């Protein structure tokens, strides 16, 4: 019997190396596949879409917030991997009651993400591969272009109401690594909420230099960018790759090459006309 603790300090008992694994977090699913563990996955959520080819034969269980619990139990996995922010506590509690080991991660920063890659490798019996992926992630961020001058940014993830990524989020950590100052970060009035809901007046008061409209989870378009440009004529409004800023694990290998063009545009473009 292998006794371990997850990121929340919860104990779980594993009977040998897990061979029937369910991942309820898209970032972790992609990371497991990168580590060569795709053949151990017996289920995933419908948002676990990367790598597309490698997951085609892995059954879906619904969303991250409402996976089909009955179907999950029928699969009799010997390990479920969950994420505190992605998956409701009620799901984890139900699996606990059913005697299914659940390893819950908590990724709130870049360093958490790197450490989690190592943790997953060790948990699943491929510690060397986990360490190697973590090393490659750290190396992949070396070419990240750092803004020469900090820009005050609002990173919006939802519409009706507008919602922003605030302090203590993985997104906030990645914005900081690019040289942004998050206007809804730890020094903001709304910082008590990790994802504050915002009235237009709050956006006006924050007066960001840049607004980044995330491509997920809300399906933003140029129409929403025009709406914000009308509201905030001083700000530069850009559509941002939500996977780059909010997926951790193996996805971080592509962070610099995805985000550098955005950072170059922001530095080279003249400020909007006043």
Span 56-76, pLDDT tens digits: 999 999 999 999 999 999 999
Sign of CA dihedral 37, 41, 45, 47: positive
Q: How far is CA 175 from CA 104, 122, 201, in A?
A: 25, 29, 23
- Give the chain's mean pLDDT: 94
Distance CA 87, CA 249 (A): 17
Q: Where are the domains of the chain?
A: 2-140, 151-268
Confidence of residue 3 (pLDDT cuts 50, 70, 90): confident
Confidence of residue 174 (pLDDT cuts 50, 70, 90): very high
What pLDDT does residue 190 have? 55
Span 25-51, pLDDT tens digits: 999 999 999 999 999 999 999 999 999
Span 201-229, pLDDT tens digits: 999 999 999 999 999 999 999 999 999 99
Span 132-155, pLDDT tens digits: 999 999 999 999 999 999 999 999
CATH no. of 2-140: 3.40.50.1980
Domain 151-268 -> CATH class:
alpha beta
Nearest to 155 by CA among 201, 194, 210: 210
More confident residue, 271 or 266: 266
What pLDDT does residue 191 have? 52
Mean pLDDT of the region 84-107: 97
Q: Is the pLDDT of residue 274 over 60?
A: no
Q: Is the fold of 2-140 the same as that of 151-268? A: yes
> Which phi and psi angles does 64 have, rounded to 5°?
-70, -30
SS3 string, the chain, reads: CEEEECCCCCEEEECCCCCCEEECCHHHHHHHHHCCCHHHEEEECCCCCCCHHHHCCCCECECCCCECHHHHHHHCCCEEEEECCCCCHHHHHHHHHCCCCEEEECCCCHHHHHHHHHHHHHHCCCHHHHHHHHHHHHHHCCCCCCCCCCEEEEEEEECCCEEECCCCCHHHHHHHHHCEEECCCCCCHHHHCCCCEECHHHHHHHCCCEEEEECCCCCCCHHHHHHHHHHCCCCEEEEECHHHHHCCHHHHHHHHHHHHHHHHHHHHCCCCCC
Confidence of residue 1 (pLDDT cuts 50, 70, 90): low
Distance CA 269, CA 42 (A): 48
Mean pLDDT of the region 172-187: 94
Q: Is the pLDDT of residue 115 over 70?
A: yes
């Amino acid at each position: 019997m292998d006794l371990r603790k997850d990121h929340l300090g919860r104990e779980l008992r594993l009977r040998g190396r897990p061979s029937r694994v369910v991942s309820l977090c898209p970032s972790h699913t992609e990371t497991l596949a990168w580590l060569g563990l795709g053949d151990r996955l017996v289920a995933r959520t419908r948002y676990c879409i990367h790598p597309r080819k490698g997951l085609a034969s892995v059954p879906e269980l619904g969303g991250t917030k409402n996976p089909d619990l009955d179907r999950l139990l029928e699969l009799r996995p010997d390990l479920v991997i969950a994420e505190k922010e992605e998956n409701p506590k009620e799901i984890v509690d139900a699996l606990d009651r059913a005697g299914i080991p659940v390893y819950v991660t908590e990724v709130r920063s870049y360093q958490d993400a790197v450490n989690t890659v190592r943790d997953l490798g060790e948990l699943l019996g491929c510690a060397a591969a986990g360490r190697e992926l973590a090393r490659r992630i750290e190396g992949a961020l070396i070419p990240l272009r750092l803004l020469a001058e900090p820009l005050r940014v609002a990173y919006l993830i939802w519409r009706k109401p507008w919602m922003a990524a605030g302090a203590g989020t993985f997104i906030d950590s990645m914005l900081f690594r690019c040289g942004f100052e998050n206007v809804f970060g730890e020094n903001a009035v709304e910082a008590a909420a990790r994802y504050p809901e915002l009235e237009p007046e709050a956006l006006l008061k924050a007066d960001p230099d840049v607004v980044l409209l995330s491509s997920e989870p809300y399906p933003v378009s140029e129409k929403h960018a025009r709406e914000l440009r009308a509201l905030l004529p001083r700000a530069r409004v850009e559509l941002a790759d939500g996977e780059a800023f909010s997926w951790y694990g193996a996805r971080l290998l592509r962070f610099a090459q995805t985000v550098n063009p955005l950072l170059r545009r922001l530095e080279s473009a003249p400020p909007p006309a006043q």
